[in-house]
């Protein structure tokens, strides 16, 4: 170990900044290439599969967006939410009501749903600052439980359609593009997902993202470094809710229907499951988490109709044992062991 003496600064400082910069650039080019390939494959999917499969792909993207939102809050900022299904529902209903009652175009309704959730998330997150750990878990749990009931509330029925919900129509492709409605909406969702992923990446890699993570690791030290914890925590709550709400809005359009029973407490728990399975504190984990919460319950039902939830539970426990860091944690481990093998002398 070096002893505590100072080393000469100026010249070596400059060069190390530059070399750190160069390394990041070449790595980020590689990452960019990977993302472009992935995006091309995802676009190609629109022309390779049809109908139900394309619908599933659209749903997967919607859930993935919602999971990115929850991961920003829980994974990166350390605030637990057992009630994010509520924001998924608020996003879905905003889209539903706007399109049904105000004939708002879908491409406007979806971002408005995000903004409504941003406000709702901030409004919930601000007073929730006083709550820590288990108490925050309970408060968000309450939110998740109350929301579906509220959507059935008699005096809101005029807007929400009560128990019956709201039926929506899937948008047609614009500008006379030769695409089916399914294809178009899948591609639209993909574009939204790509933009949101970019925004989330920007946020996490920035100074703001560092402050968000610093709060998770040591709240008091972060504040002593000048981080305004109250502002950062409630803004993170708002942004997280906005992502999840946009996911909800897109899913409503894909399903062409919103009703209170689509947003039960189980949805909120599923979102948390998705975050953990994908990898807490990762962005790409959302894709795997979304696949899990979409396909594992169906698969379990195929394995055994009578004990479907038993199978689901066992699969979930296996996942947690085999991949304690989620899918992304496992991938990181594989990657680092490959890198180490490459470094070994031959």
**What mask of x and - would describe binding to other proteins in positions 1 to 30, judged by CB under 8 A?**
xxxxxxx-x--xx--xx--x----------
Which CB, 24 or 169, lies closer to other proteins?
Answer: 24
What is the smallest separation between the CB atom of 220 and other proteins, expressed in angstroms? Answer: 6
Q: How far apart are CA 140 and CA 125, in angstroms?
A: 10
CA proximity to 86, closest of 257, 293, 269: 269
Residue of 32, 44, 108, 225 that binds other proteins (CB under 8 A): 225
Residue of 26, 103, 149, 224 that binds other proteins (CB under 8 A): 224
Residue of 229, 255, 297, 330 that binds other proteins (CB under 8 A): 229
The neighbouring-strand residues paired with 167 are 257
Residue environment code for 262-288, b if the CB has 16+ CB neighbours within 10 A, otherwise e: bbbbebbbbbbbbbbbbbbbbbbbbbb
Range in contact with other proteins (rule: CB under 8 A) among 80-88, 131-139, 178-186, 197-205:
197-205
Question: Per rule CB under 8 A, is residue 199 in the interface with other proteins?
Answer: yes
Decide if 110 contacts 250 (C-beta within 8 A). Answer: yes
Range in contact with other proteins (rule: CB under 8 A) among 46-54, 61-69, 83-91, 216-224:
216-224
Q: Angle 43-109-184 (CA atoms, 0-180°, nearest 5)?
A: 25
Which CB, 98 or 116, lies closer to other proteins?
Answer: 116
Question: Per rule CB under 8 A, is residue 187 in the interface with other proteins?
Answer: no
Range in contact with other proteins (rule: CB under 8 A) among 169-177, 212-220, 310-318, 327-335:
212-220
Half-sphere exposure of 214 (CA within 13 A, CB side): 18
Q: How far apart are CA 16 and CA 43, in angstroms?
A: 40
The neighbouring-strand residues paired with 257 are 167
Residues 118-177 that bind other proteins (CB under 8 A): none
Question: Per rule CB under 8 A, is residue 181 in the interface with other proteins?
Answer: no
Q: Which two tokens stand for residue 161?
A: 């359609």
Q: How far apart are CA 97 and CA 106, in angstroms?
A: 11
Which CB, 9 or 103, lies closer to other proteins?
Answer: 9
Range in contact with other proteins (rule: CB under 8 A) among 45-53, 94-102, 215-223, 247-255:
215-223
DSSP reduced 3-state for 167: strand
The neighbouring-strand residues paired with 258 are 166
Q: Kindly list the residues in this chain that would bind other proteins in the complex (CB under 8 A).
A: 1-7, 9, 12-13, 16-17, 20, 199, 202-203, 206-211, 213-214, 216-218, 220-229, 235, 239, 281
């Amino acid at each position: 170990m070096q002893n505590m003496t100072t080393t000469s600064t100026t010249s070596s400082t400059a060069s190390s900044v530059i070399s750190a910069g160069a390394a990041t650039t070449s790595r980020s080019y590689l990452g960019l290439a990977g993302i472009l390939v992935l995006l091309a494959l995802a676009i190609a999917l629109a022309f390779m599969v049809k109908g139900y499969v394309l619908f599933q792909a659209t749903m997967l993207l919607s859930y993935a967006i919602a999971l990115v939102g929850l991961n920003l809050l829980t994974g990166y900022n350390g605030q637990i939410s057992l009630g994010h299904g509520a924001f998924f529902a608020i996003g879905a209903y905003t889209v539903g009501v706007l399109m049904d009652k105000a004939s708002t175009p879908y491409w406007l309704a979806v971002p408005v749903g995000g903004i409504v959730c941003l406000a709702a998330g901030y409004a919930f997150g601000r007073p929730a600052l006083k709550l820590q750990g288990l108490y925050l878990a309970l408060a968000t749990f309450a939110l998740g439980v109350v929301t579906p009931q509220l959507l059935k509330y008699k005096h809101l029925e005029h807007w929400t359609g009560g128990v019956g919900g709201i039926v929506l129509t899937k948008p047609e492709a614009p500008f006379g593009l030769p695409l089916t409605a399914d294809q178009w909406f899948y591609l639209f969702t993909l574009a939204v997902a790509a933009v949101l992923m970019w925004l989330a990446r920007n946020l996490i890699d920035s100074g703001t993202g560092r402050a968000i993570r610093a709060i998770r690791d040591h709240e008091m030290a972060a504040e002593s470094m000048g981080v305004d914890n109250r502002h950062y925590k409630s803004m993170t709550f708002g942004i997280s809710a906005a992502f999840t709400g946009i996911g909800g809005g897109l899913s409503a359009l894909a399903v062409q229907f919103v009703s209170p029973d689509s947003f039960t407490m189980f949805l909120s728990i599923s979102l948390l499951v998705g975050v953990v399975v994908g990898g807490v504190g990762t962005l790409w984990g959302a894709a795997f988490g979304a696949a899990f919460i979409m396909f594992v319950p169906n698969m379990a039902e195929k394995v055994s109709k009578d004990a479907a939830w038993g199978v689901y539970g066992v699969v979930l426990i296996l996942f947690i044992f085999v991949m304690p860091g989620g899918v992304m944690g496992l991938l990181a481990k594989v990657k680092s062991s490959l890198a180490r093998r490459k470094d070994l002398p031959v």
